[in-house]
Chains A and B, each alone.
Chain A
């Protein structure tokens, strides 16, 4: 396999891993984000039980995405990581807090409020930080030679705060539609109401981020709006309109399966939009995937491991979701 094809393959694998992470950890982070809107006790117990069997497996994809970037595109990792150290640290601390909350909140009555707070704050901070990282990369990173040339706080801009907030409401919608899929009774009704409110916020956020991205520079305007490529790129907003309309229709009809699928569709279209904005760059307008690629020998060696491990991960993930399918009870997993 040629080096160019290997590089494309690895870019595709990492893109797949990151989307798998967003889709899977997105809904369990979303359940944490929704915690303040759920009643103390039963509703929160059921919500947590609905993600308890799968949340840690979902985070496997983050390791694959981050580790894959380090191994297959070391130059991109070397430039991007120092640019977003602060939000990456915040994200990891957030993930630690919510991970610990999964175990400890069931062991206490007196301090349950503290672990509820840790679960909500950890989930929200992790989601917000991921959105900030995305925004910080999209808005461009200062490069000096083959390393990061900016400062500690360059990531902090109105645009990155917008993308951070947008991912929080996006994950919130995914969390609410997951709860629609997995719960019954009063919690199900609350989940429908939350999915509607967060869904409106998510669609507003998609529009806001799309327009804000275009305002970042003429390169983004050219990529999205130049003729004839606009005939292809115009399908992204059209698909967002179709998916959003179908989402709100399914919520109004109280359908319990489609809201989750349609929220995932909104994420998929937004993710494809991200590819339009970035490809073939991995550091916007500075470093392409081919410039950032590891030697062909390293990529080939790792591809053998990935070819074995990714099907294994997919298989055990599918098995876990199958075993824990259906509605979640209050006592459930814990």
Chain B
């Protein structure tokens, strides 16, 4: 029989994934700045 994980471990894992998701959004937003510069140059 598998042991049930403690609530704290589940919460920590959830927080880790949420942090990873938000971090990825911020990283993509930063990359978008570069992309915006590129397209603004190309489309001028």
Contact = CB atoms under 8 A, between A and B. Distances in A.
B36 interface: yes
Interface in A214-230: 214-215, 217-218, 221, 224-227, 230
A237 interface: yes
Contacts of B24: 238
Interface string A272-292: 000000000000000000000
A238 B21 contact: yes
A234 B32 contact: yes
Contacts of B43: 215, 217-218, 221
A230 B42 contact: no
Interface in A194-243: 214-215, 217-218, 221, 224-227, 230-231, 233-235, 237-238
Contacts of A215: 39, 42-43
Interface string A237-255: 1100000000000000000
A230 B32 CA distance: 7
Interface residues of B, number: 14
Name which of A218, A226, A230 has the most chain B CB atoms within 10 A of its CB: A230
Contact of B40 (A218, A224, A231, A235): A218
Interface in B15-44: 21, 24-26, 28-29, 32-33, 35-36, 39-40, 42-43
Name which of A214, A217, A225, A235 has the most chain B CB atoms within 10 A of its CB: A225
A269 to B, nearest CB: 14
A203 to B, nearest CB: 16
B29 A221 contact: no
Contacts of B25: 231, 234-235, 238
Q: Which 8 A-B pairs have the closest CB atoms?
A: A234-B28, A225-B36, A225-B32, A221-B39, A230-B32, A230-B29, A234-B29, A234-B25
29 contacts: A214-B35, A214-B39, A215-B39, A215-B43, A217-B43, A218-B39, A218-B40, A218-B43, A221-B39, A221-B43, A224-B32, A225-B35, A225-B36, A225-B39, A226-B36, A227-B29, A230-B29, A230-B32, A231-B25, A231-B26, A231-B29, A233-B32, A234-B25, A234-B29, A234-B32, A235-B25, A238-B24, A238-B25, A238-B28
